[in-house]
C-alpha cells in the first residue's frame, strides 16, 4: 500500500472548493466563539449572578453544544451544492464501509502514548502543574446529575460536534483539493486553534492528527468519534482519581 492509497476518502463532496474557508469562517466566528466561549457569560448575566453553580454550568453547556451543532449542520446544508443533502451524507459517514475497530484501537493507544510523552516533556521543561480543569473537577464531584451530564457532554456531545465539523466537513473538503496528509495537518491546526488553549495546543493537534488519520483510513466517522470519546473518558477518569 502506497502513502496515497492510505486514504479512502472520496474527492466528491457536497460543497464547492471555494466555499470551504468561507463556511468554516462563518462557523468559527458566528457560531463557535459566541456559543462555546460567550454562552455561559450571557446566561450568568440573564440570571444576575457572578458565576454559575456546577449543575447549571454543565446543563447550560450541553444545551449550548446542542444548539451550536444544530446550527452548524444548518450552515453546512445552506452552503452545499444545489440539490445536495447533508443528512444522508453524514449518515453514510457513520456506517463503515470496512472494518474500523483495529484502526480505532491503534489510534487510541497511539494518542494516549503521545499525550503522555508530551505531558512528561512539558513537566520536565516547565515544571509540574495542575493539568485538570478546576471547574471540571467541581462538576464531577457536585452531584450524580452533574456527573452524568458531564459524561454525556465530554463523551458524546463534544466528540460528535467536533468530529462532524473538523473531520466530517473540513478534512473531507480539504482532501478533495489537496493531498490528504496536508488536509490532516491543516484541519488539525484549526481543531487546536478552536479550543483557544495555548497550554494544550500541541496535545489538541495530536488528537486532530490521529483522529484524522483514522478517518482517512476507514472512511467512517465512527473511528475518530470512538477515539475522541475514549480519550475524553480517560480525562474524566483521571480527573476523578486525581
Determine the pLDDT at residue 126. Answer: 58
Q: Is 231 a member of any domain?
A: yes
φ, ψ for residue 15, nearest 5 deg: -120, 150
Q: What is the value of pTM for the model shown?
A: 0.93
Domain extent at residue 210? 13-82+93-241
What the block records as the C-alpha cell of 134 is: 478546576
In a domain, 7, yes or no: no
CB of 27 within 8 A of CB of 165? yes
Phi-psi group of 137: left, alpha or beta (phi > 0 → left; psi -120 to 50 → alpha; rest → beta): alpha
Query: How confident is the model at residue 198, as a pLDDT?
Result: 87
Q: What is the DSSP letter of 80?
A: B
Residue 17 lies in a domain: yes
Q: How many domains does the chain have?
A: 1
Q: Is residue 116 part of a domain?
A: yes
Q: Is residue 1 part of a domain?
A: no
Instruction: Report pLDDT for 130.
Output: 52
- How does pLDDT run across 21-55, given as a tens digit for each residue? 999 999 999 999 999 999 999 999 999 988 899 99
Residue 46 lies in a domain: yes
Instruction: Confirm whether 8 is domain-assigned.
Output: no
User: Which is nearest to 223 in space by CA: 136, 108, 76?
Assistant: 108
CA 156 – CA 88 distance, rounded (Å): 20
Q: What is the per-residue pLDDT across 125-149, written as a single tens digit (0 to 9) for each? A: 655 455 567 889 999 999 999 999 9
Q: Residue 10 — left, alpha, or beta (φ > 0 → left; ψ -120 to 50 → alpha)?
A: beta
Residue 6 within a domain: no
Amino acid at each position: 500500500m502506497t502513502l496515497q492509497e492510505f486514504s479512502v476518502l472520496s474527492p466528491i463532496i457536497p460543497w464547492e472548493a471555494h466555499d470551504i474557508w468561507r463556511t468554516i469562517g462563518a462557523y468559527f466566528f458566528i457560531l463557535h466563539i459566541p456559543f462555546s466561549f460567550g454562552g455561559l457569560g450571557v446566561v450568568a448575566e440573564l440570571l444576575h449572578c457572578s458565576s454559575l453553580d456546577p449543575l447549571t454550568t454543565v446543563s447550560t453547556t450541553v444545551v449550548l453544544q446542542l444548539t451550536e451543532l444544530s446550527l452548524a449542520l444548518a450552515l453546512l446544508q445552506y452552503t452545499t451544492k444545489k440539490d445536495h443533502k447533508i443528512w444522508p451524507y453524514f449518515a453514510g459517514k457513520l456506517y463503515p464501509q470496512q472494518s474500523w475497530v483495529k484502526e480505532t484501537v491503534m489510534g487510541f493507544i497511539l494518542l494516549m502514548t503521545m499525550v503522555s510523552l508530551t505531558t512528561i516533556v512539558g513537566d520536565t521543561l516547565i515544571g509540574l502543574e495542575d493539568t485538570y480543569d478546576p471547574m471540571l473537577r467541581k462538576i464531577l464531584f457536585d452531584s450524580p446529575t452533574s456527573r452524568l451530564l458531564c459524561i454525556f457532554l465530554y463523551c458524546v456531545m463534544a466528540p460528535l460536534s467536533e468530529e462532524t465539523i473538523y473531520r466530517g466537513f473540513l478534512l473531507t473538503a480539504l482532501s478533495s483539493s489537496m493531498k490528504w496528509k496536508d488536509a490532516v495537518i491543516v484541519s488539525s491546526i484549526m481543531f487546536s486553534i478552536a479550543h483557544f488553549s495555548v497550554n494544550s495546543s500541541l496535545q489538541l493537534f495530536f488528537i486532530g492528527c490521529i483522529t484524522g488519520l483514522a478517518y482517512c483510513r476507514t472512511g467512517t466517522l465512527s473511528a475518530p468519534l470512538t477515539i475522541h470519546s475514549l480519550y475524553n473518558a480517560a480525562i474524566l477518569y483521571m480527573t476523578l482519581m486525581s
